């Protein structure tokens, strides 16, 4: 086990706390990592099998973590087993603060262990704990409980772990952190599993000196006040992102029954308003974030064998999970939705890819592309949660070829069973919960990680719908690029994207300056564009080709608030984006 799992402090505690005026261009979080030895190629060998020991896992934080609120994300980079290309996934919880407080700018994990382990990083000490007894535990909750009880650092630690889905290589397995937060997308859980790495516990409690104490406190107060009082943050702390359900539905942009429609008659039952009124049990926060956007619903289930006996659990909900396993599966039974979300948490699955994959399977079942022979007796019907929960367990267990295919996502399953026209994947990644117009889908198609968070195309659509302006490919390509470049800066600083309205360029400069990094507007613009270019170059190196990007036919069939999407418009915009990236 010579090289595994190596944990390299990329910034020594001394370096990270130095307050001399370094230029930021020497260390943006994402680039510093991947370019640690000069280029991305050096960390991730060309053509590496994502499940092979050579696939690196890089977890990076940024210079504002531990100094300012809402700089609370960890960016994980890896090669994705789901898309076979660039993997990037971001999680909050306590992960970012714990990594920085332990004295690290990034953690790099390579190789494979001979037997299951979990890693414990306590400041400068790294321990390898035998995890063979934890392997194949039925619930990722239990794994978290055991690590919590065995390890120190309560309150200032992050506990990341995988479930069975990661162990068994489901290509959209997640890494769970602190329960209810996830490195959800693109299959980091499967990469952990391929290394026989069950989890990672990291803790520490350093101090971070600043250049000017008084200025630091003043700027802190400005950011803190905006985070707690500004209207731009209100939706996150009141109803949470689930407040999007009703407005999207009203405009016909809520993907329903595998996007056969953009309108869900029963949307009211799964709305943020309804969930808050009837189910919201607790709100929790990521470390160093006063917003507390994490909404936990209570799931109260009777025990069938005894009257007056209940089990009450907490289930995290947001717009994306509600769309993915609610409207997209044609279901409005909140108890069923919560049980399916809970099952995804137990197994350690990305709930968005799971929902979209199950939606494809349901439509394929209805159209007779698959039958109970493939599903092994399960009747996949819209809103049939007991069947969906059973199917989810089988996706992890993989008892036959059909479930082995579903374990690789909707696009792969469609190559075997047909139905690609309604497999809602973009760059092989399953879609998010917006069908607002061409902009959102172009964002999923072109974005470096094929996520709605890359470039917020839905916002371009919504602005056009509000102003009545007709979109042109030029406008959309330029809008996506501009937003995605700026988001490279924010995500490299690991500022939560919910705080993008607070971390304006001016605040970014000021906060960086107090952390000891001097930069100009030009620097930031150049760095953002450069990071995006490098990501795209990496993707092309690994075989990504914009000209052959698959546009699922379904998105062209179901009208959006901006009308029916024209394929020519899409191709033209992709071409413009590609030329200008």
Judged by CB under 8 A, the residue of 23, 127, 206, 234 near another protein is: 206
Q: How far is the CB of 568 from another protein (least distance, A)?
A: 48
Residues 113-132 that bind another protein (CB under 8 A): 123
Q: Which two structure tokens, joined as six digits, stand for 232? A: 């731009």
Q: Residue 386 corresponds to which tokens in the numbers above?
A: 């007991």
Q: Does residue 209 bind another protein (CB under 8 A)?
A: yes
Q: CA 455, CA 443: separation in Å to the nearest integer?
A: 6
Smaller CB separation from another protein, 52 or 218:
218
- Residues 102 and 492: their CA atoms lie apart, in Å, by 19
Q: In the bound complex, what is the minimum distance in angstroms from residue 485's beta carbon to another protein? A: 28
**Residue with Cβ nearer another protein (344 or 531):** 344
Indicate the residue among 407 and 494 with the shorter CB distance to another protein: 494
Instruction: Check binding of 367 to another protein (CB under 8 A).
Output: no
Q: If we measure between CA atoms, which residue out of 59, 56, 19 comes closest to residue 41?
A: 56
- Note whether 101 binds another protein by CB under 8 A: yes
With 0-12 / 13-18 / 19 or more C-beta atoms within 10 angstroms meaning exposed / middle / buried, residue 17 is: middle
Count residues near another protein (CB under 8 A): 45
Q: Please state the closest distance from residue 519 (CB atom) to another protein, in A.
A: 19
What is the Cα–Cα distance from 177 to 324, expressed in whole angstroms? 21
By CB under 8 A, tell whether 478 contacts another protein. no
CB of 145 to another protein, least distance (A): 7
Closest distance between another protein and the C-beta of residue 263, in Å?
A: 35
Nearest distance, CB of residue 102 and another protein, angstroms: 11
d(CA 194, CA 169): 7
Q: With binding defined as CB under 8 A, does residue 228 bind another protein?
A: yes
Q: Is 179 a binder of another protein (CB under 8 A)? A: yes
Contact window for another protein (CB under 8 A) among 211-219, 355-363, 427-435, 522-530:
211-219
Binders in 57-76 for another protein, by CB under 8 A: 66-67, 69
Cα–Cα distance for residue pair 394/354, rounded to 1 Å: 12
Min separation Cβ 395 and another protein, Å: 25
As measured in angstroms, the least distance from the Cβ of 225 to another protein is 10
Residues 233 and 401: their CA atoms lie apart, in Å, by 46
Q: How far is the CB of 551 from another protein (least distance, A)?
A: 40
Contact between residue 359 and residue 552 where contact means Cβ atoms under 8 Å apart: no
Question: In which element (H, E) is residue 493 found?
Answer: none
Give the residue, chosen from 14, 37, 155, 563, that forms a contact with another protein under the rule CB under 8 A.
155
List beta partners, residue 518: 23
Contacts of 143 (CB under 8 A, 6+ apart): 134, 137, 161, 162, 163, 198, 199
Strand 197-203 to strand 117-122: parallel, antiparallel, or no bridges (unpaired)?
parallel
**Can you tell me the distance from the alpha carbon of 7 to that of 153, in angstroms, rounded to the nearest whole number?**
19
Q: How far is the CB of 372 from another protein (least distance, A)?
A: 37
Tell me the C-alpha distance between 194 and 190, whole Å: 6
In whole angstroms, give the CA distance from residue 8 to residue 106. 7
Strand order in the sheet with 294-302: 280-284, 294-302, 310-317
Check if the beta carbon of residue 498 is closer than 8 Å to that of residue 291. yes
User: Can you tell me which of 154, 231, 305, 306 binds another protein, judged by CB under 8 A?
Assistant: 154
Q: Which is nearer to another protein, 207 or 548 (CB)?
A: 207
With CB under 8 A as the contact rule, the residue among 91, 160, 245, 296 that binds another protein is 296
Q: Which stretch binds another protein (CB under 8 A): 290-298, 303-311, 370-378, 430-438?
A: 290-298
Q: Figure out which of the listed residues 36, 283, 393, 526 binds another protein, where binding follows CB under 8 A.
A: 283
Q: Return the residue of 172, 183, 216, 426 that touches another protein, per CB under 8 A.
A: 216
In the set 210, 276, 344, 499, which binds another protein (CB under 8 A)? 210
The least distance separating another protein from the CB of residue 283, rounded to whole angstroms, comes to: 6
Q: What is the DSSP string of 267-321?
A: GGGGSHHHHHHHTEEEEE--TT-TT--EEEEEEEEE-TTSTT-EEEEEEEE-HHH
Q: Please say which residue, 464 or 515, places its beta carbon nearer to another protein.
A: 515
Element (H, E) at 350: none
Q: Which is nearer to another protein, 226 or 570 (CB)?
A: 226
- By beta-carbon proximity to another protein, the closer residue of 67 and 267 is 67
Kindly list the distances between the CA atom of residue 68 and the CA atoms of 215, 278, 384, 459, 521, in Å, as whole numbers in the listed order: 13, 34, 45, 27, 20
From candidates 168, 195, 263, 288, binder to another protein by CB under 8 A:
288
Selected from 145, 261, 269, 578, the binder of another protein by CB under 8 A is 145
Count of beta carbons in the 10 Å neighbourhood of residue 18: 13
Interface with another protein (CB under 8 A), residue from 205, 247, 383, 418:
205
The residues in 479-518 that bind another protein, with binding defined as CB under 8 A, are: 515
CB of 302 to another protein, least distance (A): 20
Q: Which residue has the tokens 């659990």?
A: 313
The crossing angle, in degrees rounded to 10, of helices 410-417 and 351-366 is 20
**Choice from 200, 208, 242, 423 touching another protein (CB under 8 A):** 208
DSSP annotation string for 420-437? GGG--EETTEEP-S---S
- Segment lying near another protein (by CB under 8 A), choices 137-145, 406-414, 465-473, 529-537: 137-145
Look up residue 108 and give its DSSP letter. Answer: E
Q: DSSP strand E in 363-447: where? A: 425-426, 429-430
Nearest to 316 by CA among 242, 232, 246, 393: 242
Decide: 171 and 409 in contact? Cβ < 8 Å: yes
- The smaller minimum CB distance to another protein, of residues 228 and 269, is found at 228
Q: Which two tokens stand for residue 9?
A: 């402090």
Q: Rounded to the nearest whole angstrom, what is the least distance from the CB of residue 206 to another protein in the complex?
A: 5
Binding segment for another protein (CB under 8 A), chosen from 176-184, 333-341, 461-469, 550-558, is 176-184
| Binding window for another protein (CB under 8 A); candidates: 149-157, 186-194, 334-342, 553-561 | 149-157
Asked if 348 touches another protein (CB under 8 A), the answer is no
Structure tokens at 243: 């407040």
**Which residues sit at the interface with another protein, rule CB under 8 A?**
66-67, 69, 97, 100-101, 123, 141, 144-145, 148, 154-156, 178-180, 205-210, 213-214, 216-217, 220, 224, 228, 282-292, 296, 313-314, 515
């Amino acid at each position: 086990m010579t090289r595994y799992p190596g944990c390299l402090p990329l910034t020594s505690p001394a370096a990270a706390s130095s307050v001399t005026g370094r230029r930021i261009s020497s260390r943006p979080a994402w680039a510093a990592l991947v370019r640690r030895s000069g280029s991305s190629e050096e960390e991730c060998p060309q053509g590496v099998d994502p499940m092979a020991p050579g696939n690196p896992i890089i977890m990076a934080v940024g210079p504002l973590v531990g100094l300012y609120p809402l700089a609370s994300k960890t960016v994980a980079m890896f090669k994705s087993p789901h898309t076979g290309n660039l993997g990037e996934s971001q999680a909050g919880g306590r992960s970012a603060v714990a990594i920085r407080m332990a004295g690290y700018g990034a953690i790099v994990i390579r190789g494979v262990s001979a037997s299951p382990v979990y890693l414990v990083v306590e400041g400068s000490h790294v321990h390898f704990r035998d995890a063979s007894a934890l392997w194949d535990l039925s619930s990722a909750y239990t794994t978290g409980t055991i690590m919590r009880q065995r390890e120190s650092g309560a309150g200032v630690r992050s506990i990341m772990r995988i479930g069975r889905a990661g162990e068994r290589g489901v290509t959209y397995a997640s890494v769970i952190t602190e329960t209810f937060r996830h490195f959800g997308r693109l299959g980091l859980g499967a990469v952990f599993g391929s290394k026989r790495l069950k989890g990672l516990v990291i803790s520490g409690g350093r101090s971070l000196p600043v250049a000017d104490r008084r200025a630091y406190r003043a700027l802190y107060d400005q950011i803190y006040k905006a985070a707690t009082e500004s209207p731009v943050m209100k939706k996150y702390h009141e109803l949470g992102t689930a407040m999007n359900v009703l407005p999207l539905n009203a405009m016909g942009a809520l993907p329903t029954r595998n996007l056969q429609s953009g309108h869900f008659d029963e949307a009211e039952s799964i709305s943020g308003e309804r969930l808050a009124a009837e189910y919201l049990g607790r709100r929790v926060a990521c470390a160093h974030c006063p917003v507390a956007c994490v909404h936990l619903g209570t799931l109260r289930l009777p025990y069938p064998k005894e009257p007056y006996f209940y089990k009450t659990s907490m289930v995290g909900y947001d717009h994306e999970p509600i769309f993915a396993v609610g409207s997209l599966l044609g279901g409005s039974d909140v108890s069923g939705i919560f049980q399916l979300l809970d099952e995804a948490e137990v197994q350690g699955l990305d709930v968005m890819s799971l929902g979209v994959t199950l939606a494809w399977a349901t439509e394929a079942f209805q159209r007779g592309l698959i039958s109970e022979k493939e599903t092994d007796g399960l009747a996949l019907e819209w809103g049939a949660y007991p069947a969906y929960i059973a199917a989810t367990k089988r996706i992890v267990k993989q008892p036959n070829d059909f479930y082995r295919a579903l374990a690789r996502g909707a696009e792969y399953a469609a190559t075997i069973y047909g139905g690609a026209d309604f497999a809602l994947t973009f760059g092989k990644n399953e879609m998010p919960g917006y069908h607002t117009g061409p902009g959102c889908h172009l964002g999923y198609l072109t974005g470096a990680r094929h996520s709605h968070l890359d470039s917020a195309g839905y916002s371009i659509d919504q602005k056009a719908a509000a102003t009545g302006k007709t979109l042109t490919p030029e406008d959309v390509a330029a809008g996506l690029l501009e937003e995605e470049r700026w988001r490279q800066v924010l995500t490299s600083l690991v500022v939560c994207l919910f705080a993008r309205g607070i971390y304006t360029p001016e605040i970014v400069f000021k906060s960086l300056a107090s952390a000891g990094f001097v930069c100009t507007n030009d620097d930031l613009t150049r760095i953002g564009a450069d990071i995006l270019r490098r990501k795209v170059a990496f993707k092309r190196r690994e075989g990504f080709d914009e000209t052959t990007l698959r546009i699922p036919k379904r998105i062209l069939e179901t009208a959006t608030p901006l009308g029916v999407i024209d394929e020519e418009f899409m191709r033209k915009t992709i071409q413009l984006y590609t030329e200008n990236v």
